[in-house]
Structure 1
Amino acid sequence: MTSTVPPAPTTSPSPTKPPTRTAPEAPTLDDRIAGALVGAAVGDALGGPVEGRSAEQIAARHGGGVTGIVGPWDGEDWRTARPIAPYHKGDGHVTDDTLMTHALVRVYAKVRGRLDAYAVAEHLVPELIGEPRWIPELEAEALPLQRVFLAEKWIVARLHYGHVDPREAGCGNIVNCGAAMYMAPVGLVNAAHPQAAYAEAIDIAGAHQSSYGREAAGVFAAGVAAACAPGATPESVVETCLSLAKDGTRSAIEAVCETAARHRDFAAALAPLREAVAPFDTVGPDYRAPSLGARRPSRLHSIEELPVALGMLLVAGGDYRRAVLGSVNYGRDCDSIATMSGALAGALHGERAVPADWADAVATASRLDLRAPARTLARVAREMFARDTARRRAHEAAFTTLAGTP
């Protein structure tokens, strides 16, 4: 076959430059905070309706898996299907993960500084019992206390009624993801400083959890802080988490992430990730029927949610949509897993990573402004950084004088 050569132009064409391709600008602090908080809420809403189900049940119920916002598992019977949890999970409604996250943001807005276990007693408890708020799953205004799980009601029982030392109040509670699930704000006010995030979250979580539940809270906050660092990657986030995690939490993250590194398709990774985390998970194979040893303190075990969220972040290569859908279709406590992976992916890439149609639908259905908490927290983070910088410089000056060094 011969090619046809076009005739030479009669006039010289004007030179044209190839289109300039500019890489997207790196997300700013404000953008990363918005990405993390909006991303966490959207992940929470997508995972809520299938929480507690197995990956196989989810695939069967939703024609191969969840691909976006879906309705309640039990349809119109959502109020009565599980009397212990008469909540409208689905249709874009956020769950207690987001309610607790937003409550912690409001605490930061009041304190405008570092939080500790005493801040939980003085400020978070009043957030739970002091003012009715719109609760999407109840489709009514109610005290947040009336929606949160029993492990979060523990905070009120121990601190408000029991007058327990806040630093010890978490002891005796079931060991679960209850504290970790709302620690993203701690990582965000400590953006790019995971060690500080870990320490602050460990202190805060002492009022709520103990053992590996408290540890997971610290590691998740550190992971969010690491995801905010310029140039962060899913791999660097995991490396940071491993550098700080202790005992079974570290072992679980290592095992899950080693498995995750061999997968790029979340559907194919569902069973291998569950197999990798199973030796560290005390709940057992049936999430709705926990084993007798479930959720008890241990140095050998870990919550399931954080390692799987980190694993899904790796499988997805940091892509928000794939990380969250992988977390949702994993099943079990998938709203909390998707809350965590959504926060991490959102912090890595900023709000543009979160599908706008999902975010708008969740905000509308939940009757919540998902971006207002991010604006508030960004202002608090800047104030905290300014005070931290002043304290650090004062210490440097004092130490220099003491040590006699120039």
Structure 2
Amino acid sequence: MTTATSRTATATATDSPAPGPGLGDRFTGALVGAAVGDALGGPVEGYTPEQILERHGGRVTGIVGPWNGDAWRTARPIAPYHKGHGHITDDTLMTHALVRVYATVRDHLDAFSVADHLVPDLISTPRWIPELEAETLPLHRVFLAEKWIVHRLHYGHNDPREAGVGNIVNCGAAMYMAPVGLVNAADPEGAYREALDVAGAHQSSYGREAAGVFAAAVAAAAAPGSTPATVVAAALALAKDGTQAAIEAVAEAAVGRTDTESAIAPLRAAVAPFDTVGPDYRAPSLGARRPSRLHSIEELPVALGMLLVGGGDFRETVLGCVNYGRDCDSIATMAGAIVGAMHGEGAVPREWADRVAEASRVDLHAPAAELAAVAREIHTRDLTRRRAHETAFAALTEAAR
């Protein structure tokens, strides 16, 4: 264990933690925080910190317009999306879709839940898509890695538990796993297991692993007395292979840093050996996004690194993620969810949340309220199931005497 990891793990040993925000407040903070991070990062996604600095005449400090201004429709014909002005992207669209699955199933999810409920949601119900400025099927906006779910499960009739095999390995599954972490609030191990099952329909290898670890981080953040250090420690306790090594390296690079601006280059250098995409985000390397036990997605370790450097402050942490560039909408989505789960809705700047809700024509509070109600129901069921198991096990041990 590295020095940074030791310090992080040691920080978990605290006295009786203060209760902090309640369950509903943490759920709202996480989902609103994720959406705000997504909308802030969208306009600068795919660019380097240097390009962002030049384009905006300094660092991004709030909601900005499209990178190419009014030419956003034709600047990137393959992806003619209106990123900017507070528009959420596919990260939030998928997160809210997963909340709707929980609202339907009202219990823990698995890969079959993706096939039975998430896929139909993507292909059958038109919704307002801010980046397309139109009401259409979510399928028409999600990235190819998410269209894979529909291809494999709806058309290919693959086993949902194995459908993720063959897809590109990226952050696609991890980016919308915050609801799994919230349903398993204060139970990182439970969140990890459930997210791995759900993500099996979408991803394999370190992409699936990242989904489990991110859900665990959100669950740890939602626990009373959580801190950036306890969240990272929980992630490290469960992460495997390259994902664990990447988080360790980034946590080490974050030690002693309190300024996210100066942390951008060191965090990138720390995660680079584990990132398969390479230095040019828009021109991935030949080995990019292929299965490996040695590698990791870039987004989650960087989000956790910025969490440590920013000390859990929403503005500092999320803007650090945004100005990091590359896949910064997903990085900021993850960091926003974690900070929001730690501190509740009050941590998220109201002016940003209101602007994103209005610009995206989305109710950012309703999904959180729905998920909190479902989580309470699931917890009651879990208690009943646990007590039934305890009774049965007790009877078995008595019979063995």
Give the TM-score range, shorter chain: over 0.9
Question: C-alpha distance in 2, partners of 1:160/1:198?
Answer: 26
Which residue pairs with 1:349 in the alignment?
343
Q: Find 2:62's aligned residue among 60, 65, 68.
A: 68
Matches within 5 A, 1:257-268: 257-268=251-262
* Matching residue's letter, 1:160: H
Which residue pairs with 1:87 in the alignment?
81
Please state how far the C-alpha of 1:204 moved relative to its aligned partner.
0.3
Which residue pairs with 2:28 in the alignment?
34
Which residue pairs with 1:15 in the alignment?
none
Deviation digits for residues 360-392 of structure 1 (CA, Å, limit 9, x no counterpart): 000000000000000000000000000000110
Q: Find 1:292's aligned residue among 286, 290, 301.
A: 286
- Provide structure 1 residue ranges, at least 5 long, that are not aligned to the other structure: 1-23
Question: C-alpha distance in 1, partners of 2:218/2:236?
Answer: 13
Q: 1:25 to 1:118 in 2, by over 3 A?
A: closer
Flag the structure with larger Rg: 1
Question: C-alpha distance in 2, partners of 1:90/1:45?
Answer: 7
Which residue pairs with 1:192 in the alignment?
186
Which residue pairs with 2:126 in the alignment?
132
Task: Give the TM-score of the pair, scaled to structure 1.
Answer: 0.93
Which residue pairs with 2:94 in the alignment?
100
Please state how far the C-alpha of 1:262 moved relative to its aligned partner.
2.5
- The answer to whether residue 209 in structure 2 is matched with residue 245 in structure 1 is no
Task: Give the TM-score of the pair, scaled to structure 2.
Answer: 0.95
- The answer to whether residue 186 in structure 2 is matched with residue 180 in structure 1 is no
- Percent same amino acid at aligned positions? 76
Instruction: Kindly tell me the number of residue pairs found equivalent between the two proteins.
Output: 383
Deviation digits for residues 128-171 of structure 1 (CA, Å, limit 9, x no counterpart): 00110000000000100000000000000000000000001000
Residues 19, 225 of structure 2: 8 Å contact kept: no
Question: Which structure: greater helix fraction?
Answer: 2
Please state how far the C-alpha of 1:25 moved relative to its aligned partner.
7.2
- Provide structure 2 residue ranges, at least 5 long, that are not aligned to the other structure: 1-17
Please state how far the C-alpha of 1:404 moved relative to its aligned partner.
2.1
Question: C-alpha distance in 1, partners of 2:284/2:48?
Answer: 14
Please state how far the C-alpha of 1:26 moved relative to its aligned partner.
1.3
Which residue pairs with 2:370 in the alignment?
376
Which residue pairs with 1:399 in the alignment?
393
* Matching residue's letter, 1:328: V
Please state how far the C-alpha of 1:61 moved relative to its aligned partner.
1.3
- The answer to whether residue 157 in structure 2 is matched with residue 163 in structure 1 is yes
Please state how far the C-alpha of 1:103 moved relative to its aligned partner.
0.1
Which residue pairs with 2:319 in the alignment?
325
Please state how far the C-alpha of 1:63 moved relative to its aligned partner.
1.9
Question: C-alpha distance in 1, partners of 2:336/2:56?
Answer: 21
Partner SS for 2:245 = helix
* Matching residue's letter, 1:348: M
Question: C-alpha distance in 1, partners of 2:312/2:303?
Answer: 11
Please state how far the C-alpha of 1:70 moved relative to its aligned partner.
0.1
Which residue pairs with 1:312 in the alignment?
306
* Matching residue's letter, 1:119: S
Deviation digits for residues 278-335 of structure 1 (CA, Å, limit 9, x no counterpart): 0000000000000000000000000000000000000000111111000000000000
